[in-house]
């Protein structure tokens, strides 16, 4: 086994913002062990070392996404937060169409400003935005006026887990509705990811029957007593 990687994981340090609060969070990703060497505790050892690193830097908690609930619960992780997925089949047409129209791709500087209007979000660094730009599996669309102002944006299809799900969105209500409506003409199967803590103009105009799935947002582990992460939100592009 000399010079062979037996197991690996990454720790990405972020500031998670919620209304009136901020948390130092470590996002754990890319947890993997050589298939022939599983069951020997390698992942457990690596995760314990990452936790020790986070504790030394006084982080509030750790977060990850996995369907291996039993394994992670044994390490102190628990489902927290809340997410909802909505069908868009019954989305009504927009009452008004703003100036401009849809365009492929994002104006990254302008989108970053719109993103910052969300009260629940990750405080994305320049490095984080550069990493997002490299994601080739995601579709990026925006509503741009004739004068070049970006009014709204959506992102969907990032990876297998978020295929056909609009997992990144923002901007003015009218432009967001118009952008989504136009996109649905070619992508009828798209669904909408949201949570009740977000100011969401799309969710509010959908019927109650449009909700097709709800559940925990992620697996969290608090590193301080009495810290809960139920008011946090992670967008689809946060786990880069």
What is the reported pLDDT for 68? 87
pLDDT band at 19 (very low <50, low <70, confident <90, very high): confident
36-45, 119-128, 164-173, 229-238: which is most confident? 164-173
Quickly count: other Cβ atoms within 10 Å of residue 195's Cβ. 17
pTM: 0.89
What is the reported pLDDT for 2? 58
CA gap 7, 30 in Å, rounded = 10
pLDDT at 178 over 70: yes
Give the mean pLDDT of 38-62: 86
pLDDT at 154 over 60: yes
CA gap 18, 82 in Å, rounded = 14
What is the reported pLDDT for 76? 92
The DSSP bridge pattern shows strands 191-194 and 78-80 to be: unpaired
Give the mean pLDDT of 60-81: 91
Q: Mean pLDDT over all residues of the chain?
A: 90
């Amino acid at each position: 086994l000399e010079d062979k990687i037996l197991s690996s994981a990454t720790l990405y340090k972020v500031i998670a913002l919620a209304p009136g609060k901020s948390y130092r969070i470590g996002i754990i990703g890319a947890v993997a062990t050589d298939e022939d060497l599983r069951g020997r505790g390698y992942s457990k050892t690596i995760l314990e070392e990452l936790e020790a690193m986070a504790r030394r830097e006084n982080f509030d908690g750790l977060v990850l996404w996995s369907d291996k609930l039993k394994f992670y619960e044994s390490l102190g992780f628990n489902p927290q937060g809340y997410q909802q997925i909505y069908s868009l089949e019954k989305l009504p047409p927009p009452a008004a169409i703003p100036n401009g129209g849809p365009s492929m791709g994002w104006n990254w500087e302008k989108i970053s400003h719109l993103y910052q209007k969300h009260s629940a979000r990750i405080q994305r660094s320049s490095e984080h935005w550069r990493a997002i730009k490299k994601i080739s599996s995601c579709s990026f669309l925006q509503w741009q006026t004739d004068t070049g102002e970006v009014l709204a944006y959506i992102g969907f299809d990032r990876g297998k887990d978020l295929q056909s799900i609009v997992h990144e969105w923002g901007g003015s209500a009218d432009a967001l509705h118009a952008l989504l409506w136009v996109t649905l003409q070619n992508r009828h199967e798209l669904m909408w990811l949201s949570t009740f803590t977000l100011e969401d103009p799309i969710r509010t105009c959908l019927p109650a029957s449009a909700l097709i799935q709800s559940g925990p947002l992620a697996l969290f582990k608090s590193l301080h007593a009495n810290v809960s992460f139920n008011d946090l939100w992670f967008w689809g592009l946060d786990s880069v």
